[in-house]
Amino acid sequence: MASPVNHPGTWESDVPGKGVFPTITPFRYTETLHFSHVGQPILNFTFNAFHVESKMPLHRECGFIRMQPETNKVAFIIAQNSGLVEIEEGELKGQQLNLQTHALARISFAKEPHVKQISRLFQLRPDGKLEQTVSMATDNQSMMQHLHITYCRSA
Ligand code: HEM
């Protein structure tokens, strides 16, 4: 089965993803993931999320994915359009990658409430679909789910 870590490509949400958090109105969104490389053992990624009806760009993040040689340790080096920069680390276990915030910083005028911690689970399912679940803790809320979405590989 193709894995985004070994085979760069494009993944698109098959059905709209669901966004929730105790402090917001639940929403739906679509998202496209691009993975590429320039021949180094590092992946570039861009995750672009869109409004489900208007198709307007919403959340965007991009960065690099590195693996520690000879280990299953994975690091995501991430910049988000909200003004957040982040390092997430975790271990690849089978078809599952669980990442946790390792370092986080933001622009001085970032919107409140501020994110304190992010946790992501990527799971490549037996049917070939990729699933992403994102949880976060903010100034006001302990760790709760924010996003859940599944993607099909399109290129
Ligand atoms: C709200 C963080 C990804 C759409 C929020 C809030 C935070 C946040 C802190 C405010 C919560 C509150 O008011 O208590 C993040 C982080 C993300 C992420 C850290 C990635 C790791 C996304 C994605 C979408 C999205 C992919 C897709 C469209 C929204 C929407 C709201 C929201 C619609 C509510 C309206 C708003 O306050 O702007 N997010 N988010 N977020 N997020 Fe996300």
Nearest CA to ligand 1 atom 7: 115
Quote the CA–CA distance of 118 and 133 in Å, as a whole number: 11
81/85 Cα distance (integer angstroms): 9
Q: How far is ligand 1, taken at its centre, from the CA of residue 114, in Å?
A: 11
Q: What is the mean pLDDT of residues 55-67?
A: 97
Residues with CB under 6 A from ligand 1: 19, 21, 23-24, 27, 29, 49, 58-59, 113, 115, 118, 134, 136, 138, 146-147
pLDDT at 79: 98
* Token pair 């489900």 in the structure block, residue: 52
Residue 8 has a pLDDT of 73
Calpha distance 31→132 (Å, rounded): 11
Q: Is 73 helix (H, G, I), strand (E, B) or coil?
A: strand
Q: In ligand 1, which atom is closest to the CA atom of 114?
A: 9
Mean pLDDT score, 129-149:
98
| Rounded average pLDDT over 74-79 | 98
> What is 10-153's CATH number, 1.10.275.10, 3.30.420.110, 3.40.50.300, 2.40.128.20?
2.40.128.20
Decide if 147 contacts 141 (C-beta within 8 A): no
